[in-house]
Chain A
Amino acid sequence: MENGVVLSMRNIGKSFPGVKALQHVDFTLRKGEIHALMGENGAGKSTLIKVLTGVYPKDEGEIYIDGVKDAITIRSPQEAQAYGISTVYQEITLCPNLTVAENMYIGRGKGIGVNWKEMERKAGALLSSLGIPARPRQQLGSCSLAVQQMVAIARAVDIDCKVLILDEPTSSLDDKEVAMLFRLMRDLKARGVGIIFVTHFLEQVYEVSDRITVLRNGELVCEYEVDKLPQVKLVAMMMGKELEGLDVIKKTKAGGEKAGKPYYEAEGLSSTASRPFDFHIAQGEVNGFTGLLGSGRSESVRAIFGADRVTGGKVRVNGKPVRITKPIEAMKNGIGYLPEDRKRDGIIADLSVRDNIILALQVMKGFFHPFSKAEAEKFADEYIKALEIKTASKDTPIKSLSGGNQQKVILARWLLTHPQYLILDEPTRGIDVGTKTEIQKLVLKMAEDGMCVTFISSEIEEMLRTCSRLIVMRDRNIVGELKGEELTQDHVMYTIAGGGN
């Protein structure tokens, strides 16, 4: 193995029933390097990580690690750890009801006795050397998500780790916490740890990585040093085509501005989770709620759809006063809602893609009027094709699809009901760039056809690209409404931050 290389994977192949998840993939990680692993959903990132950590056995190829002459076989995460390969997953996998120190050393003692003092001393030393703001005796659950993540990393690092895998570590962190995490990553890098960084956020890749490997459809596309790969080219590599730029989208935006007569109007609408607010949207309009996490943007749209218990307010649809206190009433008024938390509120995990697609329309059609199998199949086929949903078949349970494709299924579910007003709460979260652009384009096309859309996204650029009017929220109150010339990133930031004008 060449000098300085800590991990080398050669010609890795792995198939699942119906899919070749990885074919001839090479991956090289050097000492003290942060190596971003990029690719769209279903590109094979997770599979590669799982092969490396022994979750899946590989079908072909070799893995070499620094210090071992022959190719190694990794049969379980425990074996991976023994070779010095540690993983910190997207979801925190520690125990929130134990202390920080306990979490760092749990399951690692040799005997049954525990030297609590020694454990806490060691934990304290490690935490402070890594600059992690947590005390050993603090309950883990009382730390912020970012700190919990960093404790997970500290635990991984302490197990004499040569290769540290961070799988989407930043997706639930705010900017400050991301900065904190990056500081820790750079620190580990300086100690010679090789870090594999899996993420969807392009900016973060450029901020912290040294090298980028791009996968697409289970195959290796390229490996670049980060300063030799401009962002636009990276996106093109991931999507496998020249970017039909975001400019194209911008031009069509004008379409969203010639708004028709109001479709939905609310006055003093409030729910158990949101404070009273006024809101309206016109036919063919795309508007959005923006604000920091917890600002009340999701709660507001949930109130519109009747997802939480509505406690007051007047609502008019198409000028007529209506009562919307339950989702079914909203649906009957032509409103659709794609929820923020896909796993919790969106997918019916064990049901097939077909059943997941027809669900909302079926409910609107009624209990005594089930779709025939042929009708259901027709709908499913139509939308699997239209949205390019990647699934082995329409009978596949939705839980075995990748995140982006699950999201497309939920989107298909609502499009099938032909709503007049569609609410999309974070439709692009955790989704690759290609699908993101597709969804944005789709939103604008629907608006052109006269549908109104309310769009929520944590990425301001995405909101600016799609919305013609932005409602800005802070601390559960609407603090501003921006349109036209005011729709610039600076202006939005300024309003969110409370500059006010």
Chain B
Amino acid sequence: MKQTKKRSPILSQLLMPLLALLVLVIFNLIRDPGFFSVELAANNNGDPVLRGNLISILNGASELAILAMGMTLVTAASGGQDISVGALAAIAGSMFVKVLRAGAGITPLTVVLGFLACCAVAMAFGAFNGTLVSVFHIQPMIATLILYTCGRSIAYWINGGATPTVDSPIISAIGSFIPGVPIPTPILIVILMGVIFSLVFRFTTLSLYTQTVGINQGAARLNGINAVGMKLLAFIILGVCCAVSGVIGVSRLSLINHETLLLDIEMDAILAVAIGGNSLGGGKFNMVGSILGAYAIQALTITLYAMKVPSTNIKAYKAVVIILIVAVGSPVVKQAFHRLWSRLTNGQPAGKAGKEVSA
């Protein structure tokens, strides 16, 4: 039997999001060589802050990247998507503001309490979605359609229909910059979330169980895995991600607008998972891919802004680019590309080229 060297499957999965980012980077560099230059400037308070398109992309994609992490897990475990993440983030954000305004003033303690409260609420709603999916076997998109429909109304009730502001240095430190730290705080929060997820993957079997349940639920059960519990857990984790995104979103503006907070972000989150090379049918997943996908989407948006595309037209342009990304990533094009590559390298038909290494 002849052994061969193969390309790492993980690398080939990341190919698409990396390619998408690369194309965007090259396109922007050609258009404007200084596009990605980053400068250190002082803000209104005299603190040093980093500025530039690169920072805008990384900063602006924070909520999306965090939601994409949770969405990856839900997709892998349940083979479906949660379309209520935007609404749930609005609920969490409203809860956060409500707790902050309940006390006399905004102190670090009330912020922590507010965060815990909104996490608890988001986890409860996540568990609601998860129960519908795992116990009642409702398709994820239908199950989460309920919260998608009513979520922003619930957010409206929480603050009695008002859009109250929460003005405080602590909130602006979460939403923009911590004094003395030039990197926008949302970027740091994404890094923190990434670290937390990698620690969870390192010290629990979450990844193995989630994939097992997503691939073959029956077999997972026969191997002693609590399949219902794993799906539920995925939705609860996504709930936490919604809470974190909601808090970031509120802190950016120092107010809660339940109608517009993270509006339409659910589709971008699903798209990020798809661009990341993950099957939307569940099973194996790669969270790094989804995060890269989130940044690719944001890079595209910023590029379009930089090209002075009117904001009403941006969605149409985005759609065109998404068609391209999805088509390039489709198996048909991939195979054709692979065949072409083989022919170029040593003139042999695909599937044979460069395969036999040892005799």
Contacts and interface: CB of A to CB of B under 8 A. Distances in A.
Interface of A: 15-20, 57, 59, 305, 307, 326-328, 331, 337, 339, 344-351, 355, 359-360, 362-364, 366-370, 390, 392, 395, 413
A17 B222 contact: no
Given A15-B355, A345-B219, A363-B205, 10 more contacts: A17-B4, A20-B1, A347-B216, A349-B215, A351-B284, A355-B212, A367-B204, A367-B206, A370-B205, A395-B9
14 contacts: A15-B352, A17-B6, A20-B1, A331-B224, A344-B219, A345-B219, A347-B219, A351-B284, A355-B208, A362-B205, A362-B208, A370-B203, A370-B205, A395-B9
A413 B220 CA distance: 13
Contacts of B355: 15, 17-18
Nearest to B224: A328
A125 B349 CA distance: 46
A19 B352 CA distance: 11
Contacts of B193: none
Nearest to B350: A57
Nearest to B2: A20
A368 B349 CA distance: 47
A212 to B, nearest CB: 25
Given A18-B1, A19-B2, A351-B284, A59 B223 contact: no
Contacts of B223: 327, 359-360, 363, 413
Contact of B356 (A15, A328, A392): A15
A366 to B, nearest CB: 8
B3 interface: yes
B225 interface: yes
A367 B6 contact: no
A349 B216 contact: yes
B334 interface: no
Interface residues of B, number: 33
Interface of B: 1-4, 6, 9, 202-206, 208-209, 211-212, 215-216, 218-226, 283-284, 349, 351-352, 355-356
Contacts of B284: 350-351
B57 to A, nearest CB: 33
Contacts of A350: 211, 215, 283-284
A369 B352 CA distance: 42
A84 B164 CA distance: 77
A87 B203 CA distance: 50
Contact of A360 (B9, B204, B224, B351): B224
B205 A337 contact: no
B2 A348 contact: no
Contact of B212 (A344, A348, A395): A348
Contacts of A20: 1-2
Q: Is the interface of B mostly helix, strand, loop or mixed?
A: loop
B211 A351 contact: yes
B224 A364 contact: yes
A339 B222 contact: yes
Given A344-B219, A345-B219, A392 B212 contact: no
A299 B1 CA distance: 41
Contacts of A368: 203-204
Contacts of A346: 219, 222
Contacts of A17: 4, 6, 351, 355
Contacts of A331: 224
A370 B202 CA distance: 8
Given A18-B1, A20-B1, A345 B222 contact: yes
Counting from the closest, the 9 A-B pairs by CB-CB distance are A328-B224, A363-B224, A370-B205, A18-B4, A331-B224, A327-B224, A348-B215, A360-B223, A350-B284
A456 to B, nearest CB: 15
A16 B1 CA distance: 11
A272 B221 CA distance: 16
A368 B204 CA distance: 4
A270 B225 CA distance: 23
Contacts of A364: 224
Given A15-B355, A348-B215, A351-B212, A327 B221 contact: yes
Nearest to A338: B222
Give the one of B1, B209, B355 with max A CB within 10 A: B1
A373 B112 CA distance: 37
A346 B283 CA distance: 16
Contacts of A339: 219, 222
Contacts of B226: 328
A234 B132 CA distance: 56
Contacts of B224: 326-328, 331, 360, 363-364
B218 A344 contact: yes
Contacts of B221: 307, 327
A301 to B, nearest CB: 12
A345 to B, nearest CB: 5
Contact of A15 (B2, B9, B225): B2
Nearest to A307: B222
Nearest to B220: A348
B232 to A, nearest CB: 14
A345 B206 CA distance: 21
Nearest to A339: B222
A370 B216 CA distance: 20
A346 B356 CA distance: 32
Contacts of A390: 1
B222 A327 contact: yes
B222 to A, nearest CB: 5
B1 A19 contact: yes
Given A15-B356, A367-B204, A359 B212 contact: yes
Contacts of A344: 216, 218-219
B28 to A, nearest CB: 36
Nearest to A399: B215
Contacts of B9: 395
Nearest to A328: B224
Contacts of A362: 205, 208
A16 B2 CA distance: 10
Contacts of A359: 208, 212, 223
A412 to B, nearest CB: 13
Contact of B218 (A16, A326, A345, A349): A345
Contacts of B208: 351, 355, 359, 362, 370
A360 B355 CA distance: 34
B207 to A, nearest CB: 9
Give the one of B208, B215, B218, B226 with max A CB within 10 A: B208
B6 to A, nearest CB: 6
Nearest to A16: B351
A351 B215 contact: yes
Nearest to B209: A367
B331 to A, nearest CB: 15
Contact of A18 (B2, B203, B222): B2
Contact of B349 (A57, A326, A363, A366): A57
A59 B2 CA distance: 16
A422 to B, nearest CB: 14
